[in-house]
Amino acid sequence: MFDIKIRLISMLGLLTFIVLGGLILDYRKMLRRPKRIGIGMAVLGIAIGVFLTLCAVLPDNNVFGKVFVESETSRKVVALTFDDGPYSPYTEQLLDILKEYNVPATFFLVGENVQKNPELVRRIAYEGHQLGNHTYHHVDLLKSDKKTIAEEVDHTSKVIAAITGTAPHVVRPPHGFRDPVVMEIMAERSLKVVEWSVMSRDWTNPGVEVIVDRTVKKVKNGSIILLHDGDGTASEAPRIQSVEAARRIIQTLMAQGYQFVTVDEILNKTEDIK
């Protein structure tokens, strides 16, 4: 949609200028007749600012570039995705559950955690799961400059490739936040940006029951489910609730006839019903 790559922060800066300009014009009783154009400018500036910010932080829109949120398919398939790992012992516990139910998942890994836990990364790959890039320091890319964004992404791909032999081709920006420049940097690297369609705010540890309920009731054919086996780079918050919820989500959805696939596989299903 945007051919000129402008940072969100620059757009908001310009809009702030327009809003203030509009308010000053109105205060000075200028441009008031026949309509209060100054106030109109201010209101429009605020509305555009809110819209652009929502486009940057909400997962389900392509305003700044194509993101993958879910698949349109008539088949009962879903993809489990886990962010912020690897984080011991929770990633191991989760891998045990996935193995028990023979369920493939996709792990969006934080580079710093990858470097601390190479064996765990090797195990994730060896057990047939897909690996994705989730930046090196789990930074807010909207607040990072272009060079930092590139380094965050490249460094993570490099450490994952050094351990597994393959660099990821999917990326999830931390918190899902992106703007035109973030999207351009990902496109230059042929990285598909993957968001999600089902989230339960599991990172707040609201209780296993709550995570399971919030997830299961939103799932439909082609959903991409977001859960967390890690906790940013801090790796402090426990993730036992997410791990236990993953088991229950798998049991419940399997009983409903769903099949679990990786992000790559679910994106390939998009053409099914077209």
Residues engaged in binding Zn ion (CB under 5 A)? 83-84, 174
- The answer to whether 126 and 87 are in contact (CB under 8 A) is no
Taking the complex as a whole, the smallest distance from the CB of residue 113 to Zn ion amounts, in Å, to 11
The single residue of 26, 83, 84, 231 carrying the catalytic annotation is 83
Element (H, E) at 17: helix 8-27
Taking the complex as a whole, the smallest distance from the CB of residue 157 to Zn ion amounts, in Å, to 16
CA distance 193 to 173: 8
Q: Please identify, using beta-carbon distances, which residue of 141 and 253 lies nearer to Zn ion.
A: 141
Residues 6+ away with beta carbon under 8 Å from 264: 106, 130, 170
Taking the complex as a whole, the smallest distance from the CB of residue 196 to Zn ion amounts, in Å, to 11
User: Cα dist. 152→6, 30, 91, 98, 182 in Å?
Assistant: 20, 48, 22, 29, 11
Q: Please identify, using beta-carbon distances, which residue of 26 and 229 lies nearer to Zn ion.
A: 229
Q: Please identify, using beta-carbon distances, which residue of 25 and 105 lies nearer to Zn ion.
A: 105
Taking the complex as a whole, the smallest distance from the CB of residue 149 to Zn ion amounts, in Å, to 15
Active site residue 129: no
Element (H, E) at 146: helix 146-164
The single residue of 155, 202, 228, 229 carrying the catalytic annotation is 228
Taking the complex as a whole, the smallest distance from the CB of residue 267 to Zn ion amounts, in Å, to 20
Reference 172, options 54, 58, 95, 67; nearest CA is 67
- The answer to whether 173 and 57 are in contact (CB under 8 A) is no
Q: Please identify, using beta-carbon distances, which residue of 83 and 195 lies nearer to Zn ion.
A: 83
Q: Which residue has the tokens 């490099």?
A: 158
Q: Please identify, using beta-carbon distances, which residue of 26 and 84 lies nearer to Zn ion.
A: 84
34 cis-preceded (ω within 30 degrees of 0): yes
Token pair belonging to 226? 């977001």
CA distance 124 to 108: 11
Reference 83, options 103, 59, 113; nearest CA is 113
Taking the complex as a whole, the smallest distance from the CB of residue 21 to Zn ion amounts, in Å, to 38
Token pair belonging to 175? 């918190």
Active site residue 179: no
Q: Please identify, using beta-carbon distances, which residue of 134 and 247 lies nearer to Zn ion.
A: 134
Reference 82, options 223, 196, 217, 209; nearest CA is 196
Catalytically annotated residues: 83, 228
